[in-house]
Structure 1
């Protein structure tokens, strides 16, 4: 399905695109970042917070933590301080890149098992599928943020995978 090299490429792309959106959002006021723009998570800041949380959740699952919801709390409002968010986002980018740096193709052949925090039944999915979801989910919501930033007059970088530095 996918390879460890694909995951490393997507991790680099992820970092590049996250930095692009944060840099573009830097030019907005805090009120503009939190303004309800009619997106699924309403605002730029809330959508970025959702991505920060979702990355942590899936990465912990991929690392073997079957109950990450016990320690990772989904919050659309936290972090609320923009400078704190920027620091944490950079750290999460590094964490994803470090995970992919140690990844070998055989690691993607296993199964990820987790127990949802809502008490529903155990879930098992192929590791490669979960790794692809980590990156695909980011791309989906970053597209929403990109559109909101553009509508607010900000200028994120191009999103073409072939342009990854």
Structure 2
């Protein structure tokens, strides 16, 4: 399904994409960052917070991060402002990259079992599927942020994987 090389590529892509958002987020007025734009989580801030929360949740299951606490409803409040988001996003992206760099094929095998607050029950799925889901979830919600940035009249950075610099 996936390989350690795929995970390293996607970890680099995730960090590159979030690096591109950092500048926009820190320079935009707070009203733009927090305005409800009709997306699933409402605002740019809430969507980015949910994504950060979810990355920490998944990395607590497959890596070595502590879970963030709270459920999906609380995920939108994981950071208070853009500066806090930038700092925590940078830290989590670094941890994802270190995890991916150390990954071996055997680490992708077997089941992963966890308590899912979203479904209200214990869930067991293939570990590789869960890891692929984490990367897909990142891309999904950054796509929502991209649309909200465009709606706000801002120029989001490119998202095409083939445009990622080799050094990212």
TM over 0.5: yes
1:36-55 map, 5 Å = 36-55=36-55
Work out the CA distance in 1 between the residues paired with 2:63 and 2:120: 21
Work out the CA distance in 2 between the residues paired with 1:64 and 1:85: 20
| Number of the residue aligned with 1:18 | 18
Length, aligned pairs only: 162
Q: Which has the higher contact order (CA 8 A, sep 6+)?
A: 1
| Number of the residue aligned with 1:63 | 63
| Number of the residue aligned with 1:143 | 143
| Number of the residue aligned with 1:4 | 4
Work out the CA distance in 2 between the residues paired with 1:18 and 1:40: 20
Q: Does the CA contact (< 8 Å) of 1:56 and 1:72 recur in 2?
A: no
User: Alpha carbon RMSD of aligned pairs, Å?
Assistant: 2.0
| TM superposition shift of 1:117 | 3.9
Structure 1: gaps spanning 5 or more residues: none
Structure 2: gaps spanning 5 or more residues: none
| TM superposition shift of 1:94 | 0.4
Work out the CA distance in 1 between the residues paired with 2:29 and 2:69: 28
Inter-CA distance 64–96: structure 2 relative to 1 (3 Å threshold): closer
> Alpha-carbon deviations, 1:38-62, whole Å to 9, x = none?
1100000000000000000011111
| Number of the residue aligned with 2:83 | 83
Q: Does the CA contact (< 8 Å) of 1:149 and 1:156 recur in 2?
A: yes
Q: Does the CA contact (< 8 Å) of 1:23 and 1:156 recur in 2?
A: no
| TM superposition shift of 1:118 | 7.0
Work out the CA distance in 1 between the residues paired with 2:3 and 2:118: 32
Q: Does the CA contact (< 8 Å) of 2:51 and 2:141 recur in 1?
A: yes
Work out the CA distance in 2 between the residues paired with 1:81 and 1:148: 17
Aligned to 2:69, which of 67, 72, 76? 72
